[in-house]
Structure 1
């Protein structure tokens, strides 16, 4: 039942936004009483927190499976992480959008718990970028922290514009992103030589 409440919450928060969805809306759609809701959750905000935690914990686990795969080199690991994030728009779109859009409705103690998990994903990605710099795949003059934030910003922002059922398939978007990350967007001189 808890999972069903979460799924209904995801559906309604995605469609109507957190603020415009009431506990009554959730239980009405499910055909249960408010008592059922409050048996599993103390508040609508606690439900939102659990949706956030469920999403971030799952993608951290998926990321760690990719990073710990001994048959993957740096480029394959980076590809698989970017693919996972873009592919989630199709497989977990509503949860991903709630995660990026609705976190402003969480109280500080709930935000801190989620920030810790987000930071883990970012740190794991940064370790991979540092590995790429060590191996010489990435220019040693680049800062790993800024490059990591750029990669995550680019992929996370995709939730706002990428249509997985549109004319550009997920694999093509990932290929373009990876090409930009590893090769840049110009064949001309580096920016440091221009400015």
Structure 2
């Protein structure tokens, strides 16, 4: 039976303490060198308490994935629903880059590695709704006439996701400024704007 990473309200302090300790220790010794016992010592909890919440060290990264999906679902509902679709696409890409740029580098890198290795298991806990969210924004724009129909919503989505996936890989391979480079952001925004239907002159 799967151990769900869903905490009760009174457990939030322990969960947050574990998350904070992990970020600190990853910066100091790296994710692979860190043990569950190290985490427990840092937080001041027993190993049994750790395993009450997480079934393995890798589940700390699964926890981040679940929070990532929730973050963007909430962002869509609060900031993107109902606004111009081209603006919504630009905002979601910009927010994605900001989200990555604010992560602890070493754990963000490990997160991507484990996400690829355990993608089937992770999707069993929580389906990544971000790709479908982007595709729905594009479909709505095509139906309303704000986004061109030259390409399918799926094809445009695939391009945007390729950019969103490729930039972190470039970040991990040495260019630590790529996620916050305003020039790159402008190029991505120009790419998205190219799908906008322009008024007939």
- TM value normalised by structure 2: 0.70
Among 136, 147, 151, the residue aligned to 1:142:
151
Q: Quick check: 2:97–2:179 contact (8 Å CA) kept in 1?
A: no
Query: Deviations 1:126-181 (Å, cap 9, x if unpaired)?
Result: 01112233344433120211210210120132223349974995443322101123
Structure 1 residue 128 corresponds to structure 2 residue 137: yes
Contact 2:100 2:179 in 1 (8 A): no
Sort the Cα spacing of 1:106 and 1:11 in 2 relative to 1 into closer, same or farther, 3 A: farther
The aligned length equals 178
Q: Is the 8 A contact 2:101 2:180 kept in 1?
A: no
The two structures have a TM-score, normalised by structure 1, of 0.72
Alpha-carbon shift at residue 31 of structure 1 (Å) = 4.7
Specify which structure has the higher proportion of helix.
Answer: 1
Task: Give the corresponding residue for 2:20.
Answer: 7
Structure 2 CA distance for aligned equivalents of residues 23 and 58 of structure 1: 26
Residue 114 of structure 2 corresponds to: 102
SS in structure 1 at match of 2:100: helix
The equivalent residue for 1:83 is 94
Structure 1: runs of 5+ lacking an equivalent: 185-195
The answer (yes or no) to whether the contact 2:80–2:88 under 8 Å persists in 1 is: yes
Measured after TM superposition, the shift of residue 60 of structure 1 is 2.1
Root-mean-square deviation (Å): 3.2
Name the counterpart of 1:44: 57
Structure 1: distance between partners of 2:15 and 2:63: 10
- Distance change >3 Å, CA 42–CA 167, structure 1 → 2: closer
Cα distance in 1 for partners of 2:94, 2:62 equals: 26
Aligned to 1:180: 191
In 1, are the aligned partners of 2:22 and 2:39 still within 8 Å (CA)?
yes
1:97-152 deviations in whole A, cap 9, x for unaligned?
A: 444222245484444223x1x1x211111011122333444331202112102101
C-alpha deviation, 1:54, in angstroms: 1.6
Match of 2:77 among 64, 77, 98: 64
The answer to whether the 8 Å contact 1:55/1:99 transfers is no
Q: Residue 189 of structure 1 aligns with which residue?
A: none
2:121 and 2:40 map into 1 onto residues whose CA distance is: 26
Matching residue of 2:10: none
